[in-house]
């Protein structure tokens, strides 16, 4: 009964979306207030319908109703409750339902919080949003119905892929989707603006908080996925330039560019058609990512079993959505009037350069990701494009963007004096040089490139601090004065500083871990000691343990450094009998500067176990930096000027204002 209610609610949601996609759009064209006003209740009704469907499926998973095919295939009664719940989106159908739920959530949020949006714009935005929902609901209902029944119902389920039974991955899809789908709002705003033929500063101000929210969720989602790959796959690495990873990284790059270009549109009323184009690109890349992951056209180390028919459907959606938006863009964009003038060396110029670097970087990732597909289509052979390509093609571009990110926030609008800005950055330059020399000496002068990279990170980090210091007039004005400035500084300024400093930390982490990782693969017997980058790993023993739904072989290492104990590490090799599948649980000890990483492997015939030990310098900085970057987004989002639905800022009342009586 419950699954049928869910199925019915989903069909209802499709019908509501059809109405929401047409009536308000016609209303906006005719200027009919009542028709436009339908958008708001319709988007709330759509959220309610999809919410009921989602709740119904959730219920089936929680009570382990194996008469539902999806539950039987992906759940098991002995599974911990957390993974029963997250098992819902650990598969194709469920994850699409989550996709649609988040889409409806964003639509309803615009309907509820977008009170100060002009009625026609709001109606059009919600209509476009509804059309995206129509596409995905149809996809869900016609090719991937999550509510299909099994008759007879099996006695027990097949359980979730054990690799997915992990807290890191449990929340990775929702965050990733909040990011992907969040960009749909940017697209809806862009398409609505194209239909209206008007883009102004107010439009950019409405788009920015949504883009920012999507961006920060995507940042966290990517970080979580990367973290999961790091400790669950046991390869000691965190990013493999795999198609599935690139699929999430490309929208992030485009979204980051959009975030920056929208600032120019808001503040200077220019770069309008570019901002619109970026909004279209960001969501198109999200759709492309969904297509790549769900269709299985590319060989990926993260690939799961897929169905080609579904791939074709998503490709069709992709073509309609991207083709439609771009056609509209081609028709309407030339009519958008461009505003303020600016010199090449100015804040605008810096942001344009940022956008050029980010989009060109995004293009190289796209080429590297799709090239094997194109080559295969023309029958020119099967190839794979590995990390060396991306490191060489994408690396220099993004490092240039990092170098420019230090300068950008210090440039004034319209026209800037580069020499004066560089003079203010003396301190950052000194910090960069010190970092290069220190790192170069500390690593024994091996290769200068990583040292230069660390210098670049130091440059950005120091520049972010100098920029904030400059705004506060720190050390140049009395401390009380600086404190006052600090209190009145808009939160978005803090957001910029935090995010840029965080980027510096991530860059340092990535470069450090790539340059100075130590890997030891060795056969160890209990009592053996192996030295890894100055840490002595001793294998104490290996024992068998039993978990809730698995059995495991657990190794025990004691780690010492110069005779002093550091930690005890217990990596596991788990075996999940329901799926007959082993997984690797790496043991990780983090010192904030580096990770010690141990994996236990197979027993050897002559006794002993194969083990893999890593010293991963600066890897913790990557996660720390990513979370800090998202935090920068949160701080910026809390800026009153951007707060969703915040009324226009009123003039500050006089201090003696009489409090209103309630």
Partner 1 sequence: MKRKHRRLIVVVVGMGLLGAATALALTAFKDNLVFFYSPSEIATKDIPEGRRVRVGGLVEEGSVTRLDDGLTVTFRITDLAEAIPVTYRGMLPDLFREGQGVVVEGRFDAAGRFTADEVLAKHDEKYMPPEVAEALKASGEWRGASE
Interaction between residue 305 and partner 1 (CB under 8 A):
yes
Out of 323, 386, 565, 577, the only residue in the binding site for partner 1 (CB under 8 A) is 386
- Strand blocks (E) in 265-335: none
Q: Does position 584 bind partner 1 by CB under 8 A? A: yes
Tokens of 525: 């017997």
Establish if 363 lies at the interface with partner 1 (CB under 8 A).
yes
Conformation bin of residue 592: beta by default, left when phi > 0, alpha when psi is -120 to 50: left
326 lies in the site for partner 1, by CB under 8 A: no
Query: How many residues are recorded in the chain?
Result: 662
Of the candidates 126, 276, 256, which has an alpha carbon nearest to the alpha carbon of residue 207? 276
Euclidean distance between CA atoms 596 and 613, whole angstroms: 8
Close Cβ partners of 465 (under 8 Å, ≥ 6 residues apart): 497, 501
- One of 397, 439, 596, 637 touching partner 1 (CB under 8 A): 397
Give the N- to C-terminal CA distance of the chain in Å, as an integer.
49
According to the binding rule CB under 8 A, does residue 383 interact with partner 1?
A: yes
Q: Which residue from 308, 323, 448, 541 is in contact with partner 1, where contact means CB under 8 A? A: 308
Contact residue for partner 1 among 152, 334, 388, 445 (CB under 8 A): 388
Question: What is the strand order of the sheet 594-603 is part of?
Answer: 518-524, 609-617, 594-603, 587-590
Should residue 296 be labelled a site residue for partner 1 when binding is judged by CB under 8 A?
yes
Q: Name the minimum Å distance from CB 185 to partner 1.
A: 28
Give the shortest CB-46-to-partner 1 separation in angstroms: 33
Least CB distance to partner 1 at residue 320 (A)? 24
Grouping H, G, I as helix, E, B as strand and the rest as coil, residue 65 is coil
Q: What is the DSSP string of 120-156?
A: HHHHHHHHHHHHHHHHHHHHHHHH--TT-B-SSPPSS
Tokens representing 414 are: 């319209």
To partner 1, the closest distance from the beta carbon of 614 in angstroms equals 12
Task: Report DSSP state, residue 225.
Answer: H
Nearest distance from residue 374's CB to partner 1, in Å? 12
Task: Out of 522, 578, 634, 644, point to the residue binding partner 1 (CB under 8 A).
Answer: 522
Of 255-263, 359-367, 454-462, 634-642: span binding partner 1 (CB under 8 A): 359-367
Residue 381 touching partner 1 (CB under 8 A): yes
Q: Taking CB under 8 A as the rule, does residue 417 contact partner 1? A: no
Residue 303 or 566: the one with the smaller Cβ distance to partner 1 is 303
The token pair at 331 is 């028709």
Which CB atom, from 444 or from 580, has the smaller least distance to partner 1?
A: 580
Instruction: Tell me the C-alpha to C-alpha distance, in Å, between residue 194 and each of 103, 225, 466.
Output: 21, 35, 40
| The one among 389, 413, 570, 641 contacting partner 1 by CB under 8 A | 389
Asked whether 194 and 333 are in contact (CB, 8 A), the reply is yes
Q: Which is nearer to partner 1, 243 or 632 (CB)?
A: 243
Distance CA 581, CA 262 (A): 48
Angle 387-407/347-377 helices, nearest 10 degrees? Answer: 170
Residue selected from 107, 350, 361, 450 as contacting partner 1 according to rule CB under 8 A: 361
Question: In whole angstroms, what is the distance from residue 531 CA to residue 400 CA?
Answer: 38
Q: What is the spatial distance between Cα 168 and Cα 499, in angstroms, rounded to a whole number?
A: 23
Rounded distance between C-alpha atoms, residue 433 and residue 338, angstroms = 41
Residue whose CB is less far from partner 1, 373 or 566: 373
Q: Which is nearer to partner 1, 33 or 344 (CB)?
A: 344
| 312 counts as binding partner 1 under rule CB under 8 A | no
Name 566's Cβ contacts closer than 8 Å, sequence gap at least 6. Answer: 535, 559, 560, 589, 596
**Residue 345 and residue 341: Cα distance in Å, rounded?**
12
Residue 374 as a binder of partner 1 (CB under 8 A): the answer is no
Stretch that binds partner 1, among 108-116, 381-389, 439-447, 469-477 (CB under 8 A): 381-389
Distance separating alpha carbons of residues 615 and 620, to the nearest angstrom? 12
Query: Is the Cβ of residue 63 or residue 343 nearer to partner 1 in the bound state?
Result: 343
Residues in 164-193 at the binding interface with partner 1, rule: CB under 8 A: none
Where does this chain touch partner 1 (CB under 8 A) — which range of 299-307, 562-570, 630-638, 643-651? 299-307
652 binding partner 1? (CB under 8 A): no
- The torsion angles phi and psi of 641, rounded to 5 degrees, stand at -60, -30
Q: Between 26 and 343, whose beta carbon lies closer to partner 1?
A: 343
Task: Give the residue with the Cβ less far from partner 1, 244 or 279.
Answer: 244
Total of residues contacting partner 1 (CB under 8 A)? 60
Count Cβ atoms below 10 Å from residue 69 Cβ, excluding itself: 19
> Which of residues 9 and 297 has its CB atom nearest to partner 1 in the complex?
297
Contact predicate 259/212, CB 8 Å: yes
Distance CA 541, CA 526 (A): 5
Contact segment (CB under 8 A) with partner 1 among 80-88, 355-363, 406-414, 631-639 equals 355-363
Q: CA angle, 535 as apex, 534 and 541 as ends, to 5°? A: 150
Q: Does 474 bind partner 1 (CB under 8 A)?
A: no
Binding residue (CB under 8 A) for partner 1 from 11, 77, 154, 299: 299
Q: Which residues does 618 contact at the CB level (< 8 Å), separation at least 6?
A: 508, 509, 511, 512, 513, 516, 593, 594
For partner 1, the closer CB: 46 or 270: 270
DSSP three-state, residue 80: coil
Question: Is there binding between residue 161 and partner 1 (CB under 8 A)?
Answer: yes
User: Should residue 579 be labelled a site residue for partner 1 when binding is judged by CB under 8 A?
Assistant: yes
Minimal distance in Å, beta carbon 342 to partner 1?
A: 7
Told to check if 527 binds partner 1 by CB under 8 A, we report: no
CB of 87 to partner 1, least distance (A): 14
Question: Rounded to an integer, what distance in angstroms lies between the CA atom of residue 497 and that of residue 410?
Answer: 11
Per CB under 8 A, the list member of 51, 304, 318, 530 interacting with partner 1 is: 304
CB of 296 to partner 1, least distance (A): 7
What are the φ/ψ torsions at residue 612 (nearest 5 degrees)? -125, 125
Nearer to partner 1, 388 or 548 (CB): 388
In angstroms, what is the minimal distance from the CB of 321 to partner 1? 25
Nearer to partner 1, 203 or 609 (CB): 609
x/- letters, 132..151, toward partner 1 (CB under 8 A):
--------------------
Q: Do residues 578 and 158 lie in contact, with contact meaning Cβ atoms separated by under 8 Å?
A: yes
97 half-sphere exposure, CB direction, 13 A CA radius: 30
What DSSP designation does 68 have? B
Tokens of 281: 């690109």
Which 591-650 positions form the footprint of partner 1 (CB under 8 A)? 599, 601-602, 604-606, 608-610, 612
Instruction: List interacting residues with partner 1 (CB under 8 A).
Output: 161, 163, 234, 296-297, 299, 301-305, 308, 341-344, 352-353, 356-357, 360-361, 363-364, 367-368, 371, 381-386, 388-390, 392-393, 396-397, 521-523, 573, 579-584, 599, 601-602, 604-606, 608-610, 612
């Amino acid at each position: 009964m419950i699954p049928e209610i869910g199925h019915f609610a989903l069909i209802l949601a499709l019908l509501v979306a059809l109405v929401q996609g047409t009536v308000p759009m016609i209303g906006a064209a005719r200027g009919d207030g009542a028709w436009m006003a339908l958008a708001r209740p319709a988007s709330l009704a759509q959220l309610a319908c999809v919410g009921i469907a989602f709740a119904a499926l959730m219920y089936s998973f929680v009570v382990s109703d194996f008469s539902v095919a999806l539950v039987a295939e992906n759940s098991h009664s002995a599974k911990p409750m957390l993974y029963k719940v997250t098992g819902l989106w650990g598969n194709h159908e469920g994850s699409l339902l989550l996709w649609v739920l988040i889409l409806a959530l964003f639509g309803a949020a615009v309907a509820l919080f977008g009170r100060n949006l002009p009625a026609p714009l709001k109606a059009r935005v919600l209509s476009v949003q509804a059309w995206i929902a129509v596409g995905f609901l149809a996809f869900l209902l016609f090719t991937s119905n999550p509510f299909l029944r099994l008759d007879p119902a099996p006695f027990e389920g097949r359980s979730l892929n054990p690799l997915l039974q992990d807290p890191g991955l449990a929340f990775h899809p929702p965050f990733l989707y909040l990011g992907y789908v969040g960009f749909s709002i940017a697209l809806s705003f862009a398409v609505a603006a194209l239909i209206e033929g008007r883009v102004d500063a107010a439009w950019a101000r409405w788009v920015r908080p949504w883009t920012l929210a999507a961006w920060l969720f995507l940042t966290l989602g990517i970080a979580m996925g990367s973290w999961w790959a790091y400790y669950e796959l046991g390869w000691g690495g965190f990013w493999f330039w795999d198609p599935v990873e690139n699929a999430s990284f490309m929208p992030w790059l485009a979204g980051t560019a959009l975030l920056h270009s929208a600032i120019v549109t808001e503040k200077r009323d220019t770069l309008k058609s570019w901002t619109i184009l970026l909004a279209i690109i960001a969501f198109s890349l999200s759709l492309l990512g969904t297509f790549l992951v769900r269709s299985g056209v590319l060989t990926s180390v993260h690939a799961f079993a897929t169905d080609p028919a579904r791939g074709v459907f998503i490709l069709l959606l992709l073509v309609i959505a991207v083709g439609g938006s771009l056609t509209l863009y081609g028709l309407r964009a030339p009519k958008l009037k461009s505003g303020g003038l600016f010199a090449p060396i100015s804040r605008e110029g810096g942001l344009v350069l940022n956008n050029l670097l980010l989009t060109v970087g995004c293009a190289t990732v796209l080429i590297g990701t799709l090239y094997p597909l194109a080559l295969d289509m023309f029958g020119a052979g099967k190839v794979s494009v590995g990390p060396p390509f991306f490191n060489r093609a994408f690396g220099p571009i993004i490092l240039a963007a990092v170098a420019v990110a230090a300068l950008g926030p210090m440039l004034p609008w319209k026209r800037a004096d580069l020499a004066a800005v560089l003079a203010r950055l003396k301190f950052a330059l000194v910090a960069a040089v010190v970092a290069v020399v220190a790192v170069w000496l500390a690593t024994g002068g091996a290769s200068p490139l990583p040292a230069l990279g660390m210098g670049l990170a130091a440059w950005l980090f120091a520049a972010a601090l100098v920029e904030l210091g400059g705004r506060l007039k720190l050390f140049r004005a009395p401390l009380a004065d600086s404190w006052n400035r600090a209190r009145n500084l808009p939160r978005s300024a803090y957001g910029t500083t935090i995010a840029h400093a965080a980027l510096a930390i991530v860059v340092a982490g990535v470069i450090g871990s790539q340059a100075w990782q130590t890997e030891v693969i060795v056969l160890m017997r209990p009592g053996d000691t192996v030295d890894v980058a100055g840490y002595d790993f001793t294998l104490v023993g290996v024992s068998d343990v039993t978990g809730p739904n698995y059995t495991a072989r657990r190794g025990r290492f004691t780690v010492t450094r110069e005779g002093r104990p550091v930690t005890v590490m217990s990596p596991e090799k788990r075996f999940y009998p329901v799926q007959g599948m082993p997984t690797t649980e790496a043991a990780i000890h983090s010192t904030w500067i580096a990770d010690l990483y141990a994996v236990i492997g197979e027993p050897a015939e002559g006794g002993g176990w194969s083990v893999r030990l890593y010293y991963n310098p600066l890897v913790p900085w990557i996660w720390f930096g990513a979370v800090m970057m998202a935090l920068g987004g949160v701080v910026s989002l809390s800026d009153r000027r951007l707060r969703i639905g915040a009324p226009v800022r009123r003039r500050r009342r006089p201090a003696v204002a009489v409090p209103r009586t309630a």
